[in-house]
Amino acid sequence: MPSYLQIENISKSYGPKILFEHIGFNVNEGDKIALIAPNGTGKTSLLRILAGKDSSDSGGRVLFLKDIRIAFLEQEYEYNLEATVWEQILMDSSKWMEHLDPEHVADYEQRIRQLLSSFGMVDSQRKMSDLSGGEVKRVAIIVMLASEADFYIMDEPTNHLDIDAIEFLENYLSHARCTLLMVTHDRYFLDSVANIVMELDRGQVFIYKGDYENYLEKRQERIDNYNAETDRVRNILRRELEWMHASPCARTGKSKSRKNAFYELRDRAGQVYKTNQLNLDEMGQATRLGTKIINCENLGISLEGKALLKDFTYNFQRYERVGIVGGNGTGKTTFINLLTGNVGAGFPFHVTGTLSRGESLNIGYYRQEGMSFDEEQTVLETVNDTHLLGRFMFPHDMLNNKIRKLSGGEKRRLYLLTILMRQPNLLVMDEPTNDLDIVTLNVLEEYLKDYKGTLIIVSHDRHFLDRLVDHILIFQNDGTIKDFVGSYSQYRESERLRSKSVGSASRTSLASRPARENGRIGGTPSDSSTSSGARKLTYKEQRELEKLEKDIEALTAEKAELEAKLSGGLTDVAELQAASTRFSEVSEMLDSFETRWLELSI
For the stretch 380-413, pLDDT in tens is 999 998 988 888 888 888 999 999 989 888 898 8
Structure-model confidence comparison of residues 564 and 346, the more confident one = 346
**Per-residue pLDDT at 269:** 62
- 306: Cβ contacts below 8 Å, ≥ 6 apart: none
Mean pLDDT comparison of 3-7, 445-449, 589-593, highest-scoring range? 3-7
Confidence of residue 515 (pLDDT cuts 50, 70, 90): very low
**Per-residue pLDDT at 250:** 45
**Per-residue pLDDT at 292:** 92
| DSSP assignment of 318-353 | TT-EEEEEE-TTSSHHHHHHHHHT---TT---EEEE
The reply to whether 148 falls in a domain is: yes
Confidence of residue 526 (pLDDT cuts 50, 70, 90): very low
**Per-residue pLDDT at 369:** 79
User: Is residue 158 within 8 Å of residue 460, measured between CB atoms?
Assistant: yes
The reply to whether 502 falls in a domain is: yes
**DSSP 8-state class, residue 447:** H
Confidence of residue 539 (pLDDT cuts 50, 70, 90): low
> Which element (helix H / strand E) includes 457?
strand 454-458
Per-chain mean pLDDT for the chain: 84
Cα–Cα separations (whole angstroms), residue 295 to 10, 349, 360: 57, 19, 14
Question: pLDDT at residue 277 above 80?
Answer: no
- 471: Cβ contacts below 8 Å, ≥ 6 apart: 320, 321, 322, 323, 483, 484, 485, 486
**Cβ count within 10 A of residue 194:** 25
Do 104 and 205 have their domain in common? yes
Question: Which of 439, 468, 486 marks a domain boundary?
Answer: 486
Q: In percent, how much of the chain has pLDDT > 90?
A: 51
**DSSP 8-state class, residue 425:** S
In the three-class reduction of DSSP (H, G, I as helix; E, B as strand; rest coil), residue 27 is classed as strand
Question: pLDDT at residue 83 above 90?
Answer: yes
Confidence of residue 244 (pLDDT cuts 50, 70, 90): low
Q: How far apart are CA 371 and CA 204, in angstroms?
A: 32
b/e sequence 487-516, b meaning 16+ C-beta within 10 Å:
bbeebbeeeeeeeeebbebbeebeeeeeeb
Sheet holding 321-326, edge to edge: 363-366, 426-430, 454-458, 321-326, 471-475, 481-485
**Per-residue pLDDT at 579:** 79
Query: Which domain range does residue 108 map to?
Result: 3-215
Do 501 and 448 have their domain in common? no
The reply to whether 276 falls in a domain is: no
Q: How far apart are CA 431 and CA 159, in angstroms?
A: 9
Question: pLDDT at residue 143 above 90?
Answer: yes
Mutual orientation of helices 573-601 and 163-175 as an angle, nearest 10°? 140
Do 564 and 596 have their domain in common? yes
Do 550 and 410 have their domain in common? no
- 147: Cβ contacts below 8 Å, ≥ 6 apart: 69, 71, 93, 96
Q: Which of 486, 462, 497, 451 is nearest to 318 (CA)?
A: 451
Do 163 and 177 have their domain in common? yes
Q: How far apart are CA 460 and CA 326, in angstroms?
A: 9
CATH of the domain at 307: 3.40.50.300
Do 299 and 426 have their domain in common? yes
- 477: Cβ contacts below 8 Å, ≥ 6 apart: 327, 330
Structure-model confidence comparison of residues 498 and 242, the more confident one = 498
The reply to whether 515 falls in a domain is: yes
Confidence of residue 523 (pLDDT cuts 50, 70, 90): very low
The reply to whether 160 falls in a domain is: yes
Do 455 and 307 have their domain in common? yes
- 487: Cβ contacts below 8 Å, ≥ 6 apart: 465, 466, 469, 470, 472
- Among 138-147, 216-225, 450-459, name the one with the lowest average pLDDT: 216-225
Query: What is the identity of the amino acid at 29?
Result: E
Confidence of residue 271 (pLDDT cuts 50, 70, 90): low
Do 454 and 572 have their domain in common? no
- 149: Cβ contacts below 8 Å, ≥ 6 apart: 68, 69, 70, 71, 178
Cα angle 591, 597, 600 (rounded to 5 degrees) comes to 145
b/e sequence 316-331, b meaning 16+ C-beta within 10 Å:
beeebbbbbbbbbbbb
Tens-digit pLDDT profile for residues 322-359: 999 998 888 999 999 999 998 877 888 999 999 999 99
**Per-residue pLDDT at 568:** 60
Q: How far apart are CA 93 and CA 143, in angstroms?
A: 6
Q: How far apart are CA 600 and CA 602, in angstroms?
A: 6
- Among 42-46, 145-149, 214-218, 539-543, name the one with the lowest average pLDDT: 539-543
The reply to whether 284 falls in a domain is: no
Distance of CA 194 to the CA centre of its chain: 14
Do 463 and 504 have their domain in common? no
User: How large is the C-alpha radius of gyration of the chain?
Assistant: 29
- 411: Cβ contacts below 8 Å, ≥ 6 apart: 371, 373, 403, 435
HSE-up (13 A, CA, CB side) for residue 525:
3
**Per-residue pLDDT at 522:** 34
Do 265 and 323 have their domain in common? no
Query: What is the identity of the amino acid at 219?
Result: R
**Per-residue pLDDT at 316:** 95
Question: Which of 433, 460, 486 marks a domain boundary?
Answer: 486
Q: Which of 590, 591, 583, 592 is nearest to 114 (CA)?
A: 583
In the three-class reduction of DSSP (H, G, I as helix; E, B as strand; rest coil), residue 502 is classed as helix
Confidence of residue 255 (pLDDT cuts 50, 70, 90): low
Phi-psi domain of 377 (left: phi exceeds 0; alpha: psi -120 through 50; beta: other): beta
Helix %, strand %, coil % of the chain (to 5): 45, 20, 35
b/e sequence 262-294, b meaning 16+ C-beta within 10 Å:
beebeeebeeeeeeeebebeeeeebeebeebbb
Number of domains in the chain: 4
Q: How far apart are CA 194 and CA 191, in angstroms?
A: 6
Structure-model confidence comparison of residues 325 and 532, the more confident one = 325
**Per-residue pLDDT at 383:** 92
The reply to whether 147 falls in a domain is: yes
Query: What is the identity of the amino acid at 245?
Result: H
Question: pLDDT at residue 9 above 60?
Answer: yes
Cα–Cα separations (whole angstroms), residue 109 to 75, 91, 147, 365, 420: 25, 12, 11, 43, 48
Q: Mean of the pLDDT values across residues 139-150? A: 96
The reply to whether 274 falls in a domain is: no
**Per-residue pLDDT at 577:** 74
**Per-residue pLDDT at 536:** 64
Q: In percent, how much of the chain has pLDDT > 70?
A: 83
**Cβ count within 10 A of residue 375:** 10
- 228: Cβ contacts below 8 Å, ≥ 6 apart: none
Do 462 and 574 have their domain in common? no
Confidence of residue 518 (pLDDT cuts 50, 70, 90): very low
Confidence of residue 69 (pLDDT cuts 50, 70, 90): very high
Question: Which of 215, 249, 278 marks a domain boundary?
Answer: 215
**Per-residue pLDDT at 535:** 54
**Per-residue pLDDT at 463:** 94
Q: How far apart are CA 218 and CA 415, in angstroms?
A: 32
- 109: Cβ contacts below 8 Å, ≥ 6 apart: 90
Do 246 and 169 have their domain in common? no
